[in-house]
Structures are given as C-alpha cells and as structure tokens.
Structure 1
Amino acid sequence: MSDSTPIAEEKPAALRFLAMLWRDKVALLAAVFLILVVLCALFGPHFLEAAATKQNLRGRNMPPFTLSQGWLFVLGADQLGRSLLARIIVASQNTMMVAAGAVLCSAIIGTVLGLFAGYGSKRTGEAISRLGDIIMSFPSLLLAVIVLYVLAPSVGNLVIVLAITRIPVYLRTARAEILEVRERMFVQAAKVMGASHRRIMFRHILPVVAPTLLTIATLDFAFVMLAESSLSFLGIGIQPPEITWGLMVAQGRPYLNNAWWLAFWPGLAIILTTMSLNLLSGWMRIALDPMQRWRLEGKTKSNG
C-alpha cells in the first residue's frame, strides 16, 4: 500500500509547474500579462496597423477615456489624431522582436562560449574570458550609441548591438556553473564510459545549467527592452514610420504639459512588462531549482 502511494501522487512535470504557478497569484498575473503582450505582438499589427497609422487632425491630442470616436480611442489620440491604443499594440511587435532577438542571440553565443570556457583547457577558458572582459569594459548603452550612430538605425543593427553587449552575462554565468558541474560524479562516469566531449557538454552538462541561464534570460529580456526604449527615446533606435514603445515616449515628450497621456501609456506598458518579467523570473528561479522547489510544491499540496 505504501509503495503505491508515491506513484499515485506523481504528476507530469508540466502539470506540476502549472499547479505551482496557479498557487502563486502574483506570478500567474505576470504570466497572463506577458502572454497578452506576446499575443498583441503576434496578431496586433495584422488587425490594427491601419488604425495605428490613420490620421485625424480634428481629434489630435484627444484625452483618454473619450469614446466618441470608438473604443480604439479609450487611451486617447496622439498629436496627429492616431489611436494610442492601436499604436501601443502595433508597437509591441517591434519592441518584443528586438528584445527577443537580442536575448536569443546573446544567450546562444554566450552559452556556447561559456561551455567551451568552462569545460575546455585552462588556456581556452582564459582566452574566452578575456573576450568577455573586453566587451564588459565598455558601458553597454554607450557602445550601442556609438555603433548605431555610425551605422544606420534599424531593427537588425539594433539586435546585433544589444546582443553583443549581453554576451558576457551568459558567458560568465555558464563558465562559473560548468566549472563546478564538470567535477560531479555523473560527468566523471560519462568520461569513464567513453562519451565524447561534445556529448558530455551538450547532453550532460548543458541541461544542468540551462535553468539558471533561462532565469537570467528572463531578467535580461527586461533589461534589453529598457535599453531599446532608451535608444529609441534618444532618437538612434528604430526610426519612423516604424514605432516602438520607447519611440512613442520620445514623441510624446514635447506634449507632457498639455497631453501627458501621449508618453504615459507607452511608458506604463514598458513598466508593466518589465515588472512582469522580473516577477516571473523570480518564480522561475525557485520553480526550476530542485533544492528550492519544495517551497512552491509544499504550498500547492497543502492547498489540495
């Protein structure tokens, strides 16, 4: 009887994570909001691109919560009479695209370099680490400003610049984790059984350090999104007619005295998205750590 009890309580990993997320209402709210942002980024431009670019000079700087022009103007209109709600939804695609592209590229390159730096020879590790130190010696935002000033501001250049500045984060984290993991017994056992170095790195070590890197990527997504918004606010990010949340804040800055909503709503979208990412990353740090996961699972079981 006692042997069958653990088997009956065993649940698939996906269901256990969903149960833990359901128990943490703050993390659940953050996840729902991020899903909503992703859906807006994927489908918003398809449905609302025309409304985001349609001008109505009679309704310029229309205050929020004025429904005389329709529900799209619930957040007001900009200096050319365009719907702020539609523009925020359409701008989410470029904002998310730049942030996701930069994080994905920097995570892949930094993790691979960190694998070789941590598992390879001491000389290889030192050489790769010095490369990361060189990149980190330049302030990331200043480096992005210099490069984008020389190159033409575009989505591709913005992704490349932001990705380069974030590579050392994953490189140093992966190297530090791998230097400890490679001394564990399962790695030594894989060597004794004749596993190749590539198999050990990518099949045995990488799954162990992946949860830590995934948590960092969630936090880094918020940082990159803020960096993109800062560059767009300075006028060297994505250029009109393309729009991002940071560019909308920059365009609304001259109207802060008489039309505060032009900069407030896109700024609020940036704040809520970064806050949700930070909250969700804190939950993921606990949920993906087998040593701390019991805190969430224990609460879930006590509820059940």
Structure 2
Amino acid sequence: MTDLSLAKPPRSEKSAAATLLSMLWRDKLAFVSAIVLLLIILCAMLGPSLLGELASHQNLRGRNSPPFDLAKGWAFVLGGDSLGRPMLARLIVAARSTMLVAAGAVAFALFVGATLGLVAGYLGKNTSQVIMRLADVIMSFPSLLLAVVVLYVLGPSIPNMILVLAITRIPIYLRTTRAEVLEVRERMFVQAAIVMGASHWRIIARHVLPVVTPTLVTIATLDFAFVMLAESSLSFLGIGIQPPDITWGLMVSQGRPYLSNAWWLALWPGVCIVITTLALNLLSNWMRIALDPAQRWRLEARSTSDE
C-alpha cells in the first residue's frame, strides 16, 4: 500500500494559509485594501520599464491638458502637466520612488530597532540603559526638523531620504520590541529553554522573536503609511526627491502653483497618497487581529458563521 502522506502538504500549514485567506476574504475592506496595494506594487515594479519614456516625453502643445480629454490619447485621461507630460504615466512611474523610499526606510528602521530592542529587553540592565538612552536622544529631536537638517547637509537623494526617515523611526520599533521582550522572557517556555541550557541568542531567535514578530509587522504596516506621508511632506517642501526622479509628493509640490487653473496637477498625486495610506491603515487593522492568537478567533468565528 502506497503511503500518500509524503505527497501531500502538511495539513496544519495548508489549513493555516487557507484560514488566513478566508478571513481576508470575509473582511471586504481588508480584501479590497490588499488588492489596491497589490496593484500599486505592480505599478511600482513594472511602470518605469513600460511607461518611463512616455512619462518623461514633453509636448508643450499639451501643457496643462484637462483630464478626461482622450483627443491626445489614452495616456492623457488624467490630463497633462505643465510640460505636456501625461499625468497617468507619471503617476505610475512615480509609484516606484515613493514605494522604494517608504519600504527602504521601514525595513531599515525595523531591522535596527528590533535588533536593539531584543538586546535591550533580554540582556542585562546596563546594556538596556545604554540602548534606551540612545533612543531618547533620537526622540528628543523633532523628526521633521531632523530630516530637514540632514537632507540640507547631505543633499536630497533617495538613499539619503531612506536613511534620515529610518533614523527617525528606529525608536518606535526599539521601544515596542523591548516592552514585548520584557514580558515574553518571563514566560514558562523561555524559562524552560534556559534550564535546558539553550544559549541566549538561540532563545531570542527561536522563542522570543516569533512571539514579537506579529506586533512588529502590524506597526511596520502602519509606519509605512506614516513614512510615505513624511516623504511627501519633505518633497512638498522642496528638500525631498529632486527631478528627474519623481514621487507623488514632488508632483503635488510641482502642481501647487497651478491650483487655480490646473487643479488636477496636484489632485491626482494627492489622491494616490490618500488611497495608499487608507489601504495600509485598513489592512493593518485586519493584520493586528489576524496575527494575534488571542484575538483572531473573532475573524475565524465570522468566517465560520458566514459559511
């Protein structure tokens, strides 16, 4: 008799993935938010290679073309900018720089902050005090003012923007991780691992980090929206990403002088920022419950009752 158990995926993993997808499908707002974010990510990945030349092509005869006028082609469905470039193509191309800055800053801040938080929460008091005083120093400076000063000294560019935004967000992850670790390290399974002789780093990696990860993922999702808004604010002030690179915040800044006669230059990138931020906030609310074993029963019960 042939044993078919090896050919099938583990039931627990399959059921866990199916449960998450079912919970996402039942929460219509979270499901729509996930679809919107997937479309934005696809635009960020494929847009510059497909529409990069069209987004940079100038046509002074089409300056400030009004939206929904298809006489100049499908690319001008959202109108044209002050140099006759199609707004739709520029919005799609600008998604890459906007997402790159936000994702890079969040990933860097998450890695550094979580690492320092794990060390500060698990190791001795002296190490914790040194790390926490470092976080206090960073938090003592207003984040926007710190970003303005650093970008003025180093110059506006995508790497510098990622660096300065990440530095201002590190204390958020550091403090959250440390607070979680202080509670988790007192649990019975961690004490059992210590008694069995496991090393500190093995306990942190195998027992503490998996418990802390859902909280960090939820915060990172919310922080992604905050960092994107911060980048847009800096670009709007003129110290963010500079041409020929484009972001949604820079497009809003470039459209500001034309608000009276070409409102669409600032409206469409602003709408993209609002939609992305709203989708991230709605999805983070779902993730906060779905990744928490103490609360996810609410979503599972809703999925069961709807079937």
Q: Separation in 1 of the partners of 2:153 and 2:58?
A: 33
Hey, what does 1:210 align to over in structure 2?
A: 213
Structure 2's unaligned 5+ residue stretches are: 1-9
Q: Kindly indicate whether residue 267 of structure 2 is the aligned counterpart of residue 267 of structure 1.
A: no
Hey, what does 1:55 align to over in structure 2?
A: 58
Q: Kindly indicate whether residue 225 of structure 2 is the aligned counterpart of residue 222 of structure 1.
A: yes
Q: Separation in 2 of the partners of 1:72 and 1:270?
A: 20
| Cα deviation, residue 15, structure 1 | 1.1
Q: Deviations over 1:75-132 (max 9, x none)?
A: 0000011000000000000000000000000000000000000001011111111110
SS of aligned partner of 1:145: helix
Runs of 4+ in 1 over 6 A off after TM superposition: 7-10
Code of the residue aligned with 1:100 in structure 2: it is A
Q: Kindly indicate whether residue 239 of structure 2 is the aligned counterpart of residue 257 of structure 1.
A: no
Q: Deviations over 1:6-41 (max 9, x none)?
A: x99995211111100000000001110000000000
TM-score by length of 1: 0.96
Q: Kindly indicate whether residue 122 of structure 2 is the aligned counterpart of residue 84 of structure 1.
A: no
Code of the residue aligned with 1:276 in structure 2: it is A
SS of aligned partner of 2:70: coil
Q: Kindly indicate whether residue 23 of structure 2 is the aligned counterpart of residue 20 of structure 1.
A: yes
Q: Kindly indicate whether residue 116 of structure 2 is the aligned counterpart of residue 124 of structure 1.
A: no
Hey, what does 1:4 align to over in structure 2?
A: none
Q: Kindly indicate whether residue 69 of structure 2 is the aligned counterpart of residue 66 of structure 1.
A: yes
Code of the residue aligned with 2:250 in structure 1: it is L
Q: Separation in 2 of the partners of 1:208 and 1:10?
A: 18
TM-score by length of 2: 0.95
Hey, what does 1:296 align to over in structure 2?
A: 299
Q: Kindly indicate whether residue 251 of structure 2 is the aligned counterpart of residue 248 of structure 1.
A: yes
Code of the residue aligned with 2:135 in structure 1: it is G
| Cα deviation, residue 199, structure 1 | 0.3
Hey, what does 1:40 align to over in structure 2?
A: 43
Q: Separation in 2 of the partners of 1:11 and 1:36?
A: 26
Hey, what does 2:103 align to over in structure 1?
A: 100
Hey, what does 2:282 align to over in structure 1?
A: 279
Hey, what does 2:186 align to over in structure 1?
A: 183
Alpha-carbon distance change, 51 to 164 in structure 1, aligned in 2, over 3 angstroms: same
Q: Over aligned residue pairs, what C-alpha RMSD do you find?
A: 1.3
Q: Separation in 2 of the partners of 1:17 and 1:74?
A: 38
Alpha-carbon distance change, 10 to 95 in structure 1, aligned in 2, over 3 angstroms: closer
Q: Deviations over 1:194-215 (max 9, x none)?
A: 1100000111100000000000
Q: Separation in 1 of the partners of 2:176 and 2:11?
A: 38
SS of aligned partner of 2:72: coil
Q: Separation in 1 of the partners of 2:49 and 2:66?
A: 26
SS of aligned partner of 1:68: helix
- How many residues are paired up? 298
Q: How does 1:126-141 map to 2 (within 5 A)?
A: 126-141=129-144
Q: Separation in 2 of the partners of 1:44 and 1:112?
A: 34
Code of the residue aligned with 1:79 in structure 2: it is S
Structure 1's unaligned 5+ residue stretches are: 1-6
Q: Separation in 2 of the partners of 1:8 and 1:40?
A: 35
Q: Deviations over 1:144-193 (max 9, x none)?
A: 00100111111011101001000000000000000000000000010111
Q: Separation in 1 of the partners of 2:156 and 2:11?
A: 57
| Cα deviation, residue 69, structure 1 | 1.2
Q: Separation in 2 of the partners of 1:166 and 1:214?
A: 14
Code of the residue aligned with 1:178 in structure 2: it is V
Q: Separation in 1 of the partners of 2:128 and 2:16?
A: 35
Code of the residue aligned with 1:118 in structure 2: it is G
Hey, what does 2:4 align to over in structure 1?
A: none
| Cα deviation, residue 50, structure 1 | 0.7
SS of aligned partner of 2:244: coil
Code of the residue aligned with 1:110 in structure 2: it is G
SS of aligned partner of 1:172: helix
Q: Separation in 2 of the partners of 1:95 and 1:108?
A: 20
Q: Separation in 2 of the partners of 1:85 and 1:11?
A: 40
Q: Separation in 2 of the partners of 1:13 and 1:128?
A: 37
Q: Separation in 1 of the partners of 2:301 and 2:105?
A: 37
